[in-house]
Each structure stands twice: as C-alpha cells, then as structure tokens.
Structure 1
Amino acid sequence: MATNPIVGNVSDIINTNKNATTTQKDGSTMGKDDFLKILITQLQNQDPTQPLQDKEFIAQMAQFTSVEQLTNMASEMKLMRQSLGFVSGMIGKSITWDSTDSSGATVEKSGVVDSITFKDGNQYANVKGEEISLDKLKKIENPVESQ
C-alpha cells in the first residue's frame, strides 16, 4: 500500500501537477497516458472502507474515453475524406468554389478538375492552373456536356 495518500479533489491535483504530467506538443493539455497514470495513482491510494467515494473520478474517466474515441473517429474520417482514392475520382468533375478577386470581393468560380496535388499535407484540385483547397469546395458535379 502506498504511504502518501492523495488528499483533495482529483481535478485540483490535476491542475496543480499539470506542468509535471503533460506530454502533448503544446504542453497545455494532458494526454491519455497522463490521465491513466493519475487514475492508477488514485486507485492505489483509494480508501478501501469507502470504495465508491471516487465515483466522480470514474465518470470523468468514462467521459475522457468518449472524447478520445470521438477525436480518433474525426481523425480517421479526415484521413478517409482525403484519401487518394476519393479525390482522384474528382478528376474530370465540375467543381464550384468561392474565390476573392483583386478588389477583395468574393466571387463564385467553377471549372473542371484537371488534376489533384498534395502540398504540406493538404490536397488541392487544379482547374486551369489554379489550385483550390478541397475544404473550399461548395459543389462537385458531373460536367455539363456541350452539344
């Protein structure tokens, strides 16, 4: 059994030890490993005569897991959306997007996608030499054939 019991609210402990337990790139948020370390410490120092006292902490852990899974799903969806298989199907399609002209006004443009390029982790549709970020697209459709 541990000799140093945790005293106080778990969120207070997390906030006071935040700098010591962060591993994220920006150093401002806790990662899942940090959270699990705190959980293990909490469980090791739990009062065996009051095992349900920390039910709020367990609820926070469940919420943390849910948020982590949602984040993972969002990342996977982004990767799926940006996969080469999806965007290569845009070649030959007519797209519509908003652009800013020389006077600063927003103008709606459209054209047929000639190719797809990748730069700095982002994908762009090329229409007559102009690169359009895929997140700027308003519409994708089959091109209208002239008769």
Structure 2
Amino acid sequence: MSGISIDSYLLSTYTENKAREAKSTLGKDDFLKLLITQLQYQDPLNPMEDKEFIAQMANFSTLEQITNMNKSLEAFLKSDALIKYSQLIGKSVEYSKEGEQKQSIVKSVRMNGDTVIIALANGDEVESSSITKVSEAGENDSSDQEG
C-alpha cells in the first residue's frame, strides 16, 4: 500500500473550487475539510483502512506544526530586524534620499510592515536599505569638515 489515497474526483473538484477563490496554497483548514469530505463520500463497502486514516491524521498534524512554526519564525525575523537596527540609535548615518547623499543622527527605528524605517534627527525618515554608511556620532571624515 502507498499509505495515503485520496479520491481523485474529490481532489480535483476541491482544488478547482479553491482555485476559483484565488488561493495559492492549501492550509491546515483546507486539508481537514478535504479529509472530512473524503470520509463522508467513501465507499461503504470498501471503507478507508485504519492505517490510511492514521497516516492522513499524522500528515494533518505535521502540517499544523509546520504552519505554526512558520508563523513563529516570521514573527521572530521581524522582531530580529527591529532589534538589529535599534543598534543604530545615536549613530551617525549617511544615506541616499532623492538621489542626494545626506548625513544625520539616528533618533529611532520602527517597523512599517516588513520594512524597517529609520527616523533621523534632521526630520527625515528613510528605509534601512537607503543607509550607505554608519559611524559614531561626532565622527567626521575630512570631507565632512569642509564648509
């Protein structure tokens, strides 16, 4: 036995309906609905064997655990980015804004969705990807001392 068997008609009908809803992946709720539908429409003269049902429930459990772990990892990575960039507070940064190189002191860091936004002493707010140089506040290159 191959372990897991799902009625191909039910699977194709189910995936066609889900495709119409513009979902790109099946989640744990979708998997459970599919399993319940399969149980409802199984052949009473040839029901699903215990081993098959247990294997599908194990797959469901694994899917749920992976989904939860993925959510936890995403939350961790977001908080990790914020913590990483918070080390810039009080530092002098050079950044590119509207094609011009500028310099200021970092006052605060915040998240806007998945993007880290750096608030600067001169009133500018820039994305972290705009920063080109970080140095100690008050540290000036010879080029910065001109003018």
Count of residue correspondences: 128
Report the structure, 1 or 2, having the larger helix content: 2
- Aligned pair partner of 2:30 in 21, 34, 41: 34
Give CA-to-partner distance per residue, 1:28-72, whole Å, 9 cap, x none: 34443233332444467494348459x799769856854663354
Q: Is the 8 A contact 2:94 2:134 kept in 1?
A: yes
Structure number with bigger Rg:
2
State the secondary structure of the residue aligned to 1:48.
coil
In 2, distance between residues paired with 1:73 and 1:87? 18
Structure 1 stretches lacking a partner, 5+ long: 1-5, 102-106
Cα RMSD for the two superposed structures? 4.4
State the secondary structure of the residue aligned to 2:8.
coil
Q: Is the 8 A contact 2:93 2:104 kept in 1?
A: yes
Measured at CA, do residues 74 and 10 of structure 1 come closer, stay the same or move farther in structure 2, by a change above 3 Å?
A: farther
Q: How does 1:12-27 map to 2 (within 5 A)?
A: 12-18=12-18
Measured at CA, do residues 134 and 38 of structure 1 come closer, stay the same or move farther in structure 2, by a change above 3 Å?
A: same
Q: Is the 8 A contact 2:104 2:120 kept in 1?
A: no
Report percent identity of matched pairs: 24
Structure 2 stretches lacking a partner, 5+ long: 1-5, 141-147
In 1, distance between residues paired with 2:121 and 2:105? 6
- Aligned pair partner of 2:103 in 105, 110, 127: 110
Corresponding letter in the other structure for 1:99: K
Q: Is the 8 A contact 2:94 2:133 kept in 1?
A: yes
* Cα deviation, residue 8, structure 1: 0.9
**TM-score normalised to the size of structure 2?**
0.52
* 1:129 counterpart residue number: 123
**TM-score normalised to the size of structure 1?**
0.52
State the secondary structure of the residue aligned to 1:82.
helix
* 1:73 counterpart residue number: 73
Corresponding letter in the other structure for 1:136: S
Q: Is the 8 A contact 2:109 2:118 kept in 1?
A: yes
